Amino acid sequence: MTEPTTKQESGLALTLPRPQLAKAPTGIQGLDEITGGGLPKGRPTLVCGSAGCGKTLLAMEFLVRGALEFDEPGVFMAFEETAKDLTQNVASLGFDLDGLIANNKLVLDFVYIERSEIEETGEYDLEGLFIRLGQSIDSIGAKRVVLDTIESLFAGLPNPLILRAELRRLFRWLKEKGVTAVITGERGEETLTRQGLEEYVSDCVIVLDHRVSDQSSSRRLRVVKYRGSTHGTNEYPFLIDEDGISVLPVTSLGLQHDVTTNRIPTGIARLDAMLGGKGFFRGSSVLVSGTAGTGKSSISAHFVDAACRRGERALYFAFEESPSQIIRNMRSIGIDLEQWVDSGMLRFQATRPAFAGLEMQLTMIHKATVNFNPQVVVVDPLNGFIIGSNVTEVKSMLTRLADFLKTRKISSMFTQLISSGVTQGADDMAVSSMIDSWLLLRDIEIGGERNRGLYIIKSRGMAHSNQVRECLLTDRGVELCEVYVGAGGVLTGSARLAQEAQELALKLTRKQEIERRQVELESKRRALDAQITALRAEFDVREAEAMKIIEQEQAQATQLVQERVEMGVSRSADL
């Protein structure tokens, strides 16, 4: 019996969380990550910022998401906008306030104050407001409350001394009620809010900012203070679009991303060969830089096309051309991107870089990437981001982008336009450090024509060719061929073709010479053979004659012996 108890105890000890502040998740994308789980539960939070920076929307989204996702009904007390205006304003974000109100998930209470209609005649308090709010909270069992913007009271009611005391009482009362409250406040001259609300609401303060630099605006959010909890302290860009607010905790997340040894082809066979025969690493970042018209987009198109052929999704951020223009242009070199768009494998996201600030661009890229969940991302080109002298910002943004893509194991290709005067290495964006593979496309001007040369400047973690290749744009896509390197220097294009023709001719001549010599040798051998045959014939004749003579001589000798024997017989000699 004791054993299960111990087990239970140890299990409890393991699951017991570190004592931490209870938090009410906002449901707003990214904000919960920055605040480590949401706003302080049961306490008031101050959201301040200048006009039009999204305070009301943030507060409203906090309530709506609370009601929909976390089953925490909410009360919205508006001091500036009527319930009807509010409902209409947030309907475009897909928030159905009327529906929520009908389901007792939300109470919208518009507090109307008109200074000219009010005469102050002595001491007063805000018990009316308390009763009203309390009634709304109790009617639906609200867990969340928004007061937007409570500072309007200062404009509407006389005697700020009483108001301050009453506000202090209000925030205390809200805490006692145990509701998570969001109080919005207009940004003041030197203080966070005009009336110094930060003195009263001190648990959590969030500042929203909307600033314009170089004519493009960006929204930012910063958690200035969060009592009893750690939080991200940076300024985070945020976006207001058709889905509400999304905050991007995009920072350099450290270098913790896992890597794979998987390789993905570039879509150009010869380029794969240059990269150790297999292409780029999956999840690596590739930079294609080059002067104008050297085929950067074409290489990107190959990369995208190859990814789609493998059945992967690709996301193409175009900052210079419209999707249809890219599709048309790539068709001319034999790459049909339209089929991938139609089948949903490829998505184009085309905007002018000047459309929004850097942070917003990053935010949009981030959001689109999260939504589409691609395996391959192309950003074409990076230069669009550089407006004026914001190179440092661009660099930090790109680092964050590259890090973000890497952590999601997305292979990325960036193109970069460089001016023809710039030599390799002295690159203006200093992006090299965050790039794994770097291809450089350069103009090579020889013999009155311009040709494209492709170099691999670096490619981390793989053997790669150190050779310059000539990059040809044919109707079958990008083709790489070897440049002529010889006594005449590096030759490309027509000069290379001429040189090749010349070499061919030379080769032919040599071949003919060899053939001629071979024929000559043959005939010599044949002549020699003939001579040998003639000599042999002569010898044969002589030999035959000699044999004949020898035979005759022998015959004569035999005859002589015979004759002697016969003579002896005839002389009857006794032998």
Partner 1 sequence: MKTKLTPLAETYLLRLYVAGQTPKCMTAFVNLKKICEEHLAGKYQIEVVDLLENPTLASGDQILAIPTLVRRLPEPVRKIIGDLSNTERVLIGLDLKRKG
How near is the Cβ of 58 to partner 1 at its closest, in Å? 25
CA distance 363 to 355: 13
Residue among 157 and 224 whose Cβ is closer to partner 1: 157
**Is 37:109 a contact under the CB 8 Å cutoff?**
no
- Count residues near partner 1 (CB under 8 A): 23
66's tokens: 């609370």
Residue among 118 and 506 whose Cβ is closer to partner 1: 118
Stretch 64-103: interaction string toward partner 1, x if CB under 8 A: ----------------------------------------
How near is the Cβ of 113 to partner 1 at its closest, in Å? 7
Beta bridge partners of 209: 220
How near is the Cβ of 123 to partner 1 at its closest, in Å? 5
For every residue of 164-179, DSSP letters joined together read HHHHHHHHHHHHHHT-
Beta bridge partners of 414: 287, 379
How near is the Cβ of 71 to partner 1 at its closest, in Å? 25
Residue among 141 and 425 whose Cβ is closer to partner 1: 141
Residue among 87 and 191 whose Cβ is closer to partner 1: 87
How near is the Cβ of 240 to partner 1 at its closest, in Å? 30
Three-state SS for 422-474 is CCCCCCCCCCHHHCCEEEEEEEEEECCEEEEEEEEEEECCCCCCCCCEEEEEE
How near is the Cβ of 192 to partner 1 at its closest, in Å? 24
Stretch 102-141: interaction string toward partner 1, x if CB under 8 A: -------x-xxx---xxxxxxxxxxxxx-xx-xx------
Residue among 142 and 376 whose Cβ is closer to partner 1: 142
Distances in whole angstroms, Cα of residue 337 to Cα of each of 149, 308, 327, 379, 383: 51, 9, 6, 16, 24
**Is 315:369 a contact under the CB 8 Å cutoff?**
yes
How near is the Cβ of 163 to partner 1 at its closest, in Å? 10
**Is 279:265 a contact under the CB 8 Å cutoff?**
yes
Residue among 125 and 545 whose Cβ is closer to partner 1: 125
CA distance 45 to 154: 19
**Is 366:248 a contact under the CB 8 Å cutoff?**
yes
CA distance 547 to 552: 8
How near is the Cβ of 170 to partner 1 at its closest, in Å? 11
- According to DSSP, residue 569 is labeled H
Residue among 8 and 139 whose Cβ is closer to partner 1: 139
**Is 182:64 a contact under the CB 8 Å cutoff?**
no
Residue among 112 and 255 whose Cβ is closer to partner 1: 112
Residue among 91 and 131 whose Cβ is closer to partner 1: 131
274's tokens: 């240059």
How near is the Cβ of 174 to partner 1 at its closest, in Å? 16
Residue among 157 and 259 whose Cβ is closer to partner 1: 157
Interface of this chain with partner 1, residues 141 to 170, rule: CB under 8 A: 153, 157
543's tokens: 């030999």
Residue 144 identity (one-letter amino acid): R
Residue among 122 and 388 whose Cβ is closer to partner 1: 122
175's tokens: 């805490």
How near is the Cβ of 74 to partner 1 at its closest, in Å? 17
How near is the Cβ of 196 to partner 1 at its closest, in Å? 20
The contacts of residue 6 (CB under 8 Å, 6+ apart) are none
**Is 126:166 a contact under the CB 8 Å cutoff?**
yes
The contacts of residue 80 (CB under 8 Å, 6+ apart) are 56, 148, 149, 152
Distances in whole angstroms, Cα of residue 247 to Cα of each of 92, 230, 373, 385: 19, 18, 18, 21
Residue among 125 and 515 whose Cβ is closer to partner 1: 125
Interface of this chain with partner 1, residues 385 to 414, rule: CB under 8 A: none
How near is the Cβ of 124 to partner 1 at its closest, in Å? 4
275's tokens: 């990269």
CA distance 466 to 441: 14
**Is 68:140 a contact under the CB 8 Å cutoff?**
no
Point out which residues bind partner 1 (CB under 8 A): 109, 111-113, 117-129, 131-132, 134-135, 153, 157
